[in-house]
Homo-oligomer: A and B are copies of this chain.
């Protein structure tokens, strides 16, 4: 048996993305389990929401590691990060839209940890002279999050092909943030 905890959380995220007010019963049915079982693993809605946030942070940090954003050419690092993020863009898109998840104790710290790492990447790109100076690292980070989330939604409803999504994001983002020799 041993319930696939992450899978349940993903189903919950997919449902909550569409209907933020969905009941625990609906979430359970969407995940293909009974309400009792859902409640055994996540004692209450708060616990479920918190688990969603924690899974999201873990996912993102894992992708940051996989992309090795601290190493090498900043442009290539951004490309690797976007590439790595694409497989979970749907889940990231959900997290991005849930402002509710940001002011939970313990969750906030996780996201600011992520923000620091991402901000450092863009700052490094500026210091190395490849990223524009007139767009702040914080804004570049937010823009990247926004575009990744947008691509996740586009893939979900078929506007953008999954294979193309990474290119769409990085072409637009890097195109706009690179310093031009001219």
Contacts and interface: CB of A to CB of B under 8 A. Distances in A.
A26 to B, nearest CB: 14
A118 to B, nearest CB: 13
A63 to B, nearest CB: 19
Q: Contact size class for A?
A: 35 or more
Copies in the complex: 2
A120 B132 CA distance: 30
Given A17-B99, A20-B21, A99-B17, A172 B143 contact: yes
Interface string A11-32: 0000001111100000000000
Interface in A112-146: 132, 134-136, 138-140, 142-143, 145-146
A173 B103 CA distance: 30
Given A142-B153, A149-B146, A150-B146, A168 B135 contact: yes
Given A18-B100, A100-B18, A100-B20, A154 B171 contact: no
Given A17-B99, A97-B99, A142 B171 contact: no
> Most chain-B CB neighbours within 10 Å: which of A97, A142, A176?
A176
Contacts of A146: 146-147, 149-150
